[in-house]
Amino acid sequence: MTFKIDVTGNISPSLARVIDAEIKDRVGRNPPTLRVVLKAMNEGLVDRLIREGTIDADERENLFSEINALIEGYGGETLAQSFTKYRASENLAIVIQAEIDNPDAIQPVTLGSVLEAMRQGLVATLVGRGDIDPDEDETLVAEIEQLIKMNGPNALAEEFLP
């Protein structure tokens, strides 16, 4: 599963991919700080991403300069995810928007309340109306659960709309 990543303007798209890879590698553990990302980079994360074709080899030195500048400017204990913003896939955006538009929904709509609505049949309703593909159910649940792991259940759902 991949999320669309918006860069805050403070980092390059390549560093955003490095941060995203470290966040995914640490699922279930504390979110990485800038210092943790630098440590992972020094321990081979950048080299792995170059081998995978996720980033270009000629960006290697710039990535280290960039992360060091961020640490100098923001501090090593700043959460790395503060520099990226994850967006919902097209189908999850449809689910989120349906819950936002639901007059009976508890406001404000959060990631946790969207997951609960999904468990209560929102996805089935949207499939029945033809708004989303019936094969998307498990993927959508996994996607929202991942967003909740990264951002917490009380994060406003509308913040993840494309």
The pLDDT of residue 107 is 86
Please answer whether residues 85 and 19 qualify as being in contact, where contact means their C-beta atoms are separated by less than 8 angstroms: no
Calpha distance 140→122 (Å, rounded): 11
The pLDDT of residue 9 is 53
The structure's pTM equals 0.60
For 140, residues 6+ apart whose C-beta sits below 8 A from its C-beta are 89, 91, 92, 95, 118, 123, 132
The pLDDT of residue 25 is 85
Calpha distance 123→48 (Å, rounded): 37
**Torsion angle in degrees (nearest 10) through CA of 14, 17, 21, 22:** 70
Calpha distance 80→36 (Å, rounded): 9
Q: What is the pLDDT along the chain (162 residues), one digit of tens a residue?
A: 444 444 445 688 899 889 989 988 877 688 899 999 999 999 999 999 999 999 999 999 999 999 999 999 999 999 998 888 777 889 999 999 999 999 998 889 999 999 999 999 999 999 999 999 888 878 899 889 888 877 789 989 998 887
Coil vs helix vs strand at 104: coil
Calpha distance 136→143 (Å, rounded): 10
| Token output for 32 | 């990485």
The pLDDT of residue 52 is 94
Phi/psi of residue 32, nearest 5 degrees? -75, 145
Coil vs helix vs strand at 6: strand
